[in-house]
Amino acid sequence: MKRWYDSNWRLKNYLDKLPTLNNELYEKIVKDLMELVREEDPKAFDRFAAYYPLSEQKQRWYDLNPYCWILVNGLKHVSPQIIEKVVHYFESIL
């Protein structure tokens, strides 16, 4: 299955690492990235949320955490500049 972020190998590598991290670091990264996106584009998460209902089957790793679900789905709808900032954040912390 091809995911939207598979086309950006840097972002893909970092997002794929998230579920393997210890819970404390995982939660810190999700929180920090949500703040980063909100600072850059305050309405980014609001614009897409109605179109993506939270899966009840929870088949994807990010479906297990509602904040991570918002982050991963929201990143699909932000500018390339914000994606670059997200990648730089990952580079600085991992």
Domain boundaries of the chain, sorted by first residue: 4-93
Q: Judging by beta carbons within 10 Å of its beta carbon (0-12, 13-18, 19+), is residue 23 exposed, middle or buried?
A: exposed
The pLDDT of 50-69, averaged and rounded, is 77
Q: Is pLDDT at 47 greater than 70 in this prediction? A: yes
Q: What is the pLDDT of residue 55?
A: 61
Q: What is the pLDDT of residue 60?
A: 83
Q: What is the pLDDT of residue 58?
A: 67
Q: What is the pLDDT of residue 52?
A: 67
User: pLDDT exceeding 70 applies to what percent of the chain?
Assistant: 90
The pLDDT of 43-51, averaged and rounded, is 82
